[in-house]
Structure 1
Amino acid sequence: MKKSLFAMAAILGLALTSCSSDDNNKSDDNKSTFVLKADDLKGEIKDGTVTLDASQTYLLTGPLLVKGGATLVIPAGTTIKASATIDPNALYIAVERNAKININGTSAKPVVMTSAKAIPTEGSWGGLIIAGNAKVNTGDNGTSEVGGLSYGGTNNADSSGNINFLKISYTGSKFSPTKEYNGISFFGVGSGTVVSDIYTFESGDDGIEFFGGAVNASNLVIVNSYDDSLDFADGWQGTATNVYIKGVSKAAIEGSNNEKNPGEATPVTTAKLVNFSIIKGGATFIADEKTINYKDGGGKQAYTNFYVDNDMPAALIKISSTDNAAAKNITDGFFTIVNYNIGAAITNLTGPKLSGTVGVATGAGAGAELPTWATWTK
């Protein structure tokens, strides 16, 4: 009997040990081998989930790359500052295809990405780059112009995580005369990615740019961009809703289809742009590529509830005289604006097909004034 009891106890102990081991393995499934250092944030997150600590201020000292299969979580209230002394082109955060970034800010506690310089300026660091598996019309395996990430594919529903309530400022360092970082660059990012409530400030290049993909975005405040404010190209199939743009250097919106094959590349850029307010800003901002730069074929662009302040240039759009594909798309009615309020100083409205209610559109919510949904950016 004692032998039987001992045997039963041994079996029970082995079973408990086995269960305990399994539980530990399960709890370790999301652990990462990445070593997180608040004062030296850089390197490759190759596996598992890395979660930052909102009570820390992180110093970005080199590229931070989230590799395929890994996840970076940034809780509400977290601040990341790019080094004041390291080459700005080496300071960026990049998310590969099949990786995820979850930026979980709130209106009361946004996530902040900025420069550590005492007096920061545009171009003080790179920015945020996200690559996905969604369709682009430049090929299924492109390479991002900065960061060197592969992007594109066939999954328009792909998810790269979420971005909610992010303030990102002083980005856009110049990699070369023709290659600059944006505030945020979306390369082939899919519609499964949730993007809302972003504030970009003082970007050396574009504030936000979509290179193909099908991601949608809402509640965007883009202030002081030194190239275009919002840019989309390469077959983007998305909707941007509630967009407030101020401080326009080139174009408030640059929308194109494909630089090398503007009239035939597919999928054709198909952009829905809803509730937009556009204000040129102070004298340093000249908007010399107009309110909308419709280029490289332009694709299909449909605007609804469009407010343009009186300080923008007299011509509403810029279009190259040699861009035959763009001219054809305009003739075919693929460039439309429904319900608009365009300042009286803007006297040349040639280009888009205009319809709907005139003079009462409120744009992003309050015409030239910052809308109530964006008060968290102050």
Structure 2
Amino acid sequence: MKSRCTTLILSTLLVISFFNVNAQDFDQDHNQWTKGWTNFDPNTTNYPKAEETIPTIIADDLFLNNDVTYLLSGNVYVTSGATLTIEDGTIIRCDHENPANLIITKGSKLIAVGSEISPIVFTSNKAPKSRASGDWGGIVIAGSGKINSVSGNGTIDSINPQFSLYGGTDENEQTSIMRFVRIEFPGRKSQSNGLSLYAIGSSSIIDNIMVSYSGQDSFNWNGGINNISKMISYKAEDDDFQISEGFKGVLDNLIAIRHPYITSPRGSYALQINGYNKDLGLIQPTELTDITVTNSTFVNLSDTKNYIHTTAAISASNSALIYINNSKISGFSDVVKFDQTYTSLAVIEKSFNMDNSFFNIHGEGVQAAYQPNTGVLNVLKYNRFTQNFVDVETLFSDPHSKAVPKFGLQKSLNAYMVMK
């Protein structure tokens, strides 16, 4: 994880090159990695019926093979240092009547490695066209990495207290290896998010994960350190990527696709970034959540008839540190919203950097709690933007595709304004 000073140096270099060479040609679609293993229409997919139920306590190593379709029912705990290994192409139907959660407890491990042609799928056990957001719980992984709390650990709500502990001092721990995994219709209210990562270490490998129609957050990071890539959140009710408790890492190739009518009552964000958890306390300011987001696309599928229902793309709270580079933001009210912990323009400029990116919004661009908030638009300098809000169908090449949505700009990037 680079220092804030290094980030600022990199930002300056990118600014110098921005007007000469575009690091990403935004009129092209660069999400070829989404082809083959994703599913943007999971409610019509015919999955085989479950043949075997996964035990609720997995205390010894267990292997799930792809010639069996499994039922995940209730809270299933991997405990006592056991490893759950799931073969590529395995389908796991998740109970909605006894809502399912897969919980990897501290010291245990999940190895779920699919492939482009044979992804691993966790999905609702309802019939096609009857599935809905929050049909089941989700996947919870508790690691031993560092979190920014007074005690150095935390407990996970809504699960057995015996298995709820997470956090420690092992920054390099490996709690999970997950690749080419789809998680469909999770996020049962008061239970869990699609994929919740607690205090994972840098040796965990997580990429090519898609969470669709989550009733809560699609992805949730609580502490830890890791570089993660190729994550898709599709039409979540709550936040797409929620990050807190001192998590540090580079998040590359994130995609959040939202709809203005699918949101929580309090508002939902593509990125909800919290510097620390007030309930757990702050160990020291140097351990605040600090993320770099690159090559990412955050889109709300809004138009001029419904954009009033959208929020800012990014919510920053409790002094979190954020750097956005080479990314697209479209269809939201604003790029970023800062809470009261960002007490001045100087504080914001030290905490938030964005460059070589593109945005299409219908608000002012930046919301800041401090008053008067003169000058806050400075944080959007050196990025291109639409002079007026543009409907999603007009802006992008094929945003509503049920095969693979495409978010290349229909016009050349040079056709848009530059924030100076």
Q: Identify which range, 162-171 or 57-66, moves more after superposition.
A: 57-66
Alignment map for 1:1-378 (pairs within 5 Å): 38-47=51-60, 49-86=61-98, 88=99, 91-118=100-127, 119-138=130-149, 139-147=151-159, 148=161, 149-175=164-190, 180-247=191-258, 249=263, 250-260=268-278, 261=281, 264-281=284-301, 288-297=310-319, 299-309=320-330, 311-313=331-333, 315-320=334-339, 323-325=340-342, 327=344, 330-343=347-360, 345-349=362-366, 350=376, 353-356=379-382, 358=384
CA displacement at 1:238 relative to structure 2: 1.3
Q: Does the CA-based 8 Å contact 1:42-1:62 persist in structure 2?
A: no
Q: 1:9 corresponds to which residue? A: none
In 2 relative to 1, CA 324–353 (structure 1 residues): closer, same or farther, beyond 3 Å?
A: same
State the identity %. 24
Q: Does the CA-based 8 Å contact 2:398-2:405 persist in structure 1?
A: no
Q: Identify which range, 131-140 or 38-47, moves more after superposition.
A: 38-47
CA displacement at 1:316 relative to structure 2: 2.0
Q: Does the CA-based 8 Å contact 1:159-1:193 persist in structure 2?
A: yes
Which whole-Å deviations, capped at 9, do the CAs of 1:81-135 have from their partners, x for residues lacking one? 112432x2xx100111111101110011100001101211111100000011111
Structure 2: which amino acid aligns with 1:170?
F
SS in 1 for 2:380: strand
Q: Distance in 2 between matches of 1:82 and 1:354?
A: 43
Q: Distance in 1 between matches of 2:123 and 2:307?
A: 22
Which whole-Å deviations, capped at 9, do the CAs of 1:247-273 have from their partners, x for residues lacking one? 153111100112325795551111111
CA displacement at 1:358 relative to structure 2: 2.9
Q: Does the CA-based 8 Å contact 1:232-1:256 persist in structure 2?
A: yes
Q: Distance in 2 between matches of 1:262 and 1:103?
A: 34
Q: Does the CA-based 8 Å contact 1:130-1:187 persist in structure 2?
A: yes
Q: Identify which range, 206-215 or 58-67, moves more after superposition.
A: 58-67
SS in 2 for 1:85: coil
Which whole-Å deviations, capped at 9, do the CAs of 1:353-374 have from their partners, x for residues lacking one? 23545359xxxxx97767xxx9
Q: Distance in 1 between matches of 2:154 and 2:382?
A: 40
Q: Which runs of 5+ in 2 are unaligned?
A: 1-49, 367-375, 387-394, 407-420
Which whole-Å deviations, capped at 9, do the CAs of 1:296-320 have from their partners, x for residues lacking one? 22x21111112012x211x222223
Alpha-carbon RMSD: 2.9
SS in 1 for 2:186: coil
SS in 1 for 2:246: coil
Structure 2: which amino acid aligns with 1:75?
E
Higher relative contact order (CA 8 A, sep 6+): 2
In 2 relative to 1, CA 357–308 (structure 1 residues): closer, same or farther, beyond 3 Å?
A: closer
Higher gyration radius (CA): 1
Q: Distance in 2 between matches of 1:183 and 1:93?
A: 10
Q: Does the CA-based 8 Å contact 2:332-2:361 persist in structure 1?
A: no
Q: Distance in 1 between matches of 2:283 and 2:301?
A: 34
Q: Distance in 2 between matches of 1:326 and 1:287?
A: 27
Q: How many residues align?
A: 322
Q: Which runs of 5+ in 1 are unaligned?
A: 1-36, 361-365
Q: Identify which range, 153-162 or 274-283, moves more after superposition.
A: 274-283
TM norm structure 2: 0.70
Q: Does the CA-based 8 Å contact 1:330-1:352 persist in structure 2?
A: no
In 2 relative to 1, CA 259–327 (structure 1 residues): closer, same or farther, beyond 3 Å?
A: farther
Structure 2: which amino acid aligns with 1:206?
D
CA displacement at 1:327 relative to structure 2: 4.9
Q: Distance in 1 between matches of 2:301 and 2:92?
A: 28
In 2 relative to 1, CA 251–100 (structure 1 residues): closer, same or farther, beyond 3 Å?
A: same
CA displacement at 1:331 relative to structure 2: 3.4
TM norm structure 1: 0.77
Q: Distance in 2 between matches of 1:40 and 1:318?
A: 45
Q: Does the CA-based 8 Å contact 1:330-1:351 persist in structure 2?
A: no
SS in 1 for 2:133: coil
CA displacement at 1:344 relative to structure 2: 5.6
